[in-house]
Amino acid sequence: MLIFLQLYAAHLIADFLLQPDWIALNKRQTRPLLAHAAIHFLCGCALVNLGLDWRAAVAILVLASVHVLVDHLKARLLGDRWAAFIVDQIAHLASVTVAALWLGSTSWSSVQETAGALLKSDRIYLILSAYVGVIFGGGFLVQKVTQSFLARIEGHLKALKPGLPKAGTYIGWVERFLVLTFVIAGFNDAVGFLLAVKALARFPDIREDTKGHFAEYFLVGTLTSVGLALVGGFVVKEVLTHL
């Protein structure tokens, strides 16, 4: 575990703290990629400060090389969208995990046993079902519930507040994810803080709506969304106590 944390911390430092714009914006060119690889190699060597032998040095060098190769492929094939960033970071996490397994004492058979146990775990599938159902299935329900209310908001008010495309959908996903996570983890007070922040952000829009239509639409959508996440979180938490 220590070697994994050291390698992943080195990755995060090199990728987010020590990567200047001239590297980040030129991942298709050789010199920026070589500089990025060198930074990753040096960070890896600095953090893997115990037992840094030739085997570890080779692993860190290969890891740095794989990292810039993934960055180069992302820049050429996927562009700079948020989905590309997620795929890129998952690939880096996987490569760090493989390097840590090779350097550590954990055998591949034990990894397979652990993965097999997780794939047969009731808890994993319960949590997976809850998150997919609440976050994405809940989004469709909220949309169906609020669409009739949205149709009643005056046209000029909607024209003044067109919003960003799909922003409401993403906000709903994040909102339900956070509420569900807070409830399962036992941080119920954080739900109130989240709702307060959302209400504060929407207060100017609510204040300008003299007839209260937008306020009612906002409350219906928020209460439906948060209510689903709360119920889902409490159900999951209760079921987990009996598994």
Please choose, from the candidates 96, 91, 25, the residue with its C-alpha nearest in 3D space to the C-alpha of residue 62.
96
Burial of 48 (0-12, 13-18, 19+ CB in 10 A): buried
163 confidence band (pLDDT: 50, 70, 90): low
Q: Give the rounded distance of the alpha carbon of 139 from its chain centre.
A: 18
Residue given tokens 């994040």 in the structure block = 174
Report percent pLDDT > 90 for the chain: 39
CA–CA distance, 161 with 169 (Å, rounded to integer): 16
pTM of the model: 0.69
- Cβ(162)–Cβ(219) under 8 Å? no
Least confident of 143-147, 161-165, 191-195, 209-213: 161-165
Is the pLDDT at 159 greater than 60? The verdict is no
Least confident of 62-66, 93-97, 147-151: 147-151
- Cβ(120)–Cβ(229) under 8 Å? no
The DSSP symbol for 48 reads -
CA–CA distance, 170 with 179 (Å, rounded to integer): 14
Q: Give the rounded distance of the alpha carbon of 125 from its chain centre.
A: 19
